[in-house]
Every structure is written in structure tokens, then in C-alpha cells.
Amino acid sequence: MKVNYLIVGAGLTGLTFANLLAQNENNKILIIEKRHHIGGNAYDSYNANHILIHNYGPHIFHTNNQTVWDYLSQFTEWCDYQHRVLSFVDGQFIPMPITLETINQLYNTNFSQFEMVDFIESQKESVVPIKSSEDVALNNAGRDIYEKFFMNYTTKQWGVVPSELDPAVISRIPFRFNRDTRYFTDRYQGIPKAGYTKMCEQMIDRPNIKVMLNTDYKEVRDAIDYDKMIYTGPIDYFYDHQFGKLKYRSVRFEMEDHDCESFQKSAVVNYPNDYDFTRITEYKKITGQQGRKTTIMKEFPCDGEEPFYPFPTKEWQELYLLYKAKADAEKNVIFAGRLAEYRYYNMDAVVDQAMRFFEMRFL
């Protein structure tokens, strides 16, 4: 089969490339996707209770990048949405990230902004030299805040105690010395009105884009004659793990249906110190869906098959660089996206990155 562009992966990276390349009607584009659906980790679908869930964990779109916002707005309308997260600490539900509200609720104080600055200063523990993520946190926030909000959460998230984790993982603890309890403060924030999957369908609604599902590209690549490949899968897999496997952290998702309108006070509640899951998401609170039932999702980080989070430590970054050197030398393959660049990108960042690559390489 002859195509101009073979795109591996139907996540937001691959779909953005496909959409941009398809604007030239002469380009024939084939997307190959391993899963049975498009959308990558942003995929959403309805469960048997007719509740829209994000199958790979809660996805909130937020960006300061107007170009990306305008670009995606061609394919979807948005529900205005401001994300808020509570953290279950000392038996209370306390706003995250750490704001004036968090401190005042945690310590039952009534600090002003200025008093909070002083308070945080007084908490900090100087550790030199900084060798681990724990050291970063102690220097930044002191022991109490570190232990209550970060220590156990990070341990669950990465499977390693912060005292043994590279400083890159907790590179700083963000404080907000005001009462803005929103999780993100980006200029644009929202949820696609009919869901991410529908937005993704719109992106490739062109006759010169073909999509092949349930297919690992290695199963078919020899049968396809292409000018250029855009590869958005794991970079180590591309090279048959020849330098060894890169480490990705995975997540096991457990869904629960509940017979009540509302399960918890905010869309996401973190459980740093209790249970084996890191957080619970209640999807109706993200999508604004109404109804008498609700569905929640618990996230259990694990070392599983599905690569979700590239490991942000020096050791793995170095292994990645071995692969990257090979990738940079490829003439007909572009490596892009979260898995191929081994980097934790948000959705807006992968779209931005794909748009830039496209401009650089194809215009």
C-alpha cells in the first residue's frame, strides 16, 4: 500500500500531524493505532450507566497557548471548567495545590498572605547538598507539609520513597500565597463539550486520512510504502529495546458505580496517606453531566504493561539519550509526542509540539 505519511499512534500528537498534513489534498495519510480506538490517552467513552469517563485517567485541558486553543476550537466547543482538587489530610478535605486556604485549614489559623510567607519560611529545613526529592521538599516546604502532602503520595506514584528519588521528580513545591484554590491558572481551561473522542474524530474527518485500528505498526510496516513516518509510540520499542527497556510508570484504573447523585465534593480528591490508590476522580464533576448515578475512578500506580509516565530521573534520561541519538539520525522518521520523546507532556504541549514540527519540516 502506498501512502505519503505513515503515522504511528492515534493520540493527540498523531492526530494533529494527520490533520495538518491532510490540508494538502494530495497527501495520502495512514494512521496505524494499536488500540481499538483513536485519541490515545485522552480517549473518553460512556460506560453502561451512560456516564462519560476518561478511560486513561482524568484529562483537563488547560493552556496559555492561544494558538493551540484556537486550533483545537475548530474541532470542538468547550464547557467552561475550572479544575479543583482536594487532598484528604488529617481527616479533612483540604485544597490542593498549597494556597493560603490550605494552610489555614490545615493548621486552623487565620493567616494573611504576608503571615503565610513568614510561616512557610519558618518551616523550611535547610538540607545541603540536595541529593534527593526529599531534600528538595524539606528545603522548600519543611517536614510537616512534606510528610502530609507529598511523601506518601510520591511514594505511591513512583514506587520509590522520595529520599531515594532523584531531585528531578519533586523539583519544587509550588505555593500560592493567595486564596486561588483552582488547580490550574491557565488562561484557557475547558472540557470538549461532546468529549475528547468526538473532538479527535473531527480532527481526522477528511477523505485523505485512513485509520487502521487494533494494529501494531510492526505487523504491517513492511507492507506499506511510505515517504515519511511520524512515530508517536515508545522510542525504545521502535529500536527493539536494543539498549534496554526504558522505564515508564503505569497506572491501574478501578471504576465504581454509585447509586447517588454526588460522591465527593470535588472532581478529584487526593489520598496521599490512606489507601493504595493516589486519588479518586468523579467524572460527572468534570463533564457537568447530570443524573441520579455517578461513576468514580481510583488510580493505583504500578509497574505495568501500559507506559503512562516516563521516569523523570537521570538514569532513565540518559538511556533515553542513547535512543534519541539514533532517532535524530533518521531521515524519514519524525519522533514526536509523550512516548517517542520520553517526556511528560500535557495535551496542549503535544499539540503545540506537533504544530511546530509540522511548520519546520513540512512547510
Q: Which residues bind its own copies (CB under 8 A)?
A: 1-2, 36, 46-48, 50, 52, 77, 193-195, 201, 204-205, 207, 209-215, 219-220, 223-224, 287, 289-292
Phi, psi dihedrals of residue 17, rounded to the nearest 5°: -55, -50
Contact 192, 198 (CB under 8 A): yes
Here's the x/- map for ligand FAD, 275-314, by CB under 6 A: it reads as ---------------------------------x------
Q: Smallest distance from the beta carbon of 130 to ligand FAD, in angstroms?
A: 28
Tell me how far apart the alpha carbons of residues 113 and 119 are, in angstroms, rounded to a whole number. 10
233 touches ligand FAD by CB under 6 A: yes
Nearer to ligand FAD, 142 or 190 (CB): 190
189 touches ligand FAD by CB under 6 A: no
Nearer to its own copies, 12 or 165 (CB): 12
339 touches ligand FAD by CB under 6 A: yes
Contact 19, 360 (CB under 8 A): no
Q: Smallest distance from the beta carbon of 298 to ligand FAD, in angstroms?
A: 12
Tell me how far apart the alpha carbons of residues 351 and 13 are, in angstroms, rounded to a whole number. 6
| Candidates 55-63, 115-123, 198-206, 268-276; binding stretch for ligand FAD (CB under 6 A) | 55-63
- Radius of gyration of the CA atoms of the chain, in A: 22
Tell me how far apart the alpha carbons of residues 79 and 87 are, in angstroms, rounded to a whole number. 25
Query: What DSSP string describes 149-193?
Result: IIIHHHHHHHSS-GGGS-TTTT----EESSS--BS---SEEEEET
Contact partner at residue 205 from its own copies, ligand FAD, none, CB < 5 to 8 Å by partner kind: its own copies
Amino acid at 230: I
The residue ranges that bind ligand FAD (CB under 6 A) are 8-14, 32-35, 40-42, 56-61, 216-217, 232-233, 237, 251, 308, 337-339, 345-348, 350
